[in-house]
Homo-oligomer: A and B are copies of this chain.
């Protein structure tokens, strides 16, 4: 019965993306699942263990998804990435990176390393996607692909944060302009 364990991680994932890591407690998980907080400690002895599990699942899910896109042209792949952010926005969520990075300093090093690893995974993928797409003439941009990936990732990450504060039409404004920019001069 991995059912409870999966539900715990899934709820923790949602809570982190809505309220933030330091603002949710085991009670926020045990109440809706109708279990005791000790049941969570059974599966995840510490909150850090739970945080790590949430990140592991997120990275796993991304690797699986991006693997499925791999046969498509790079401009389509990038749009798929944007679509995953769009989906989060529609659900009123921010991305894991956007939620965890401000709290980074409050994390034990094991959790910090996981966040850094996740960030690398996303940045490397985006960087490669942009570089290959540029080689094929699907994107047009100046400078290093990794620098461009940094710009794209920061736009996406913070767009979800700003949507919280300014309303969620912000997302389409940002992504539309960003996609136009990348194909500019075509």
Q: Give the B-binding residues of A (Cβ under 8 A).
A: 18-20, 22-23, 94, 97-99, 101-106, 112, 115-116, 119-120, 123, 142-144, 146-148, 150-151, 153-155, 157-159, 161-162, 164-166, 170, 173-174, 176-178, 180-181, 184
Contacts and interface: CB of A to CB of B under 8 A. Distances in A.
Contact of A154 (B23, B147, B174): B174
A20 B102 contact: yes
A181 B55 CA distance: 33
Contacts of A153: 158, 162
Contact of A165 (B101, B165, B177): B101
Contact of A105 (B98, B120, B147, B164): B164
Contact of A161 (B23, B98, B106, B173): B98
Contact of A119 (B97, B142, B165, B177): B165
Contacts of A181: 142, 181
A165 B98 contact: no
Given A22-B20, A150-B162, A155 B157 contact: no
A106 B19 contact: yes
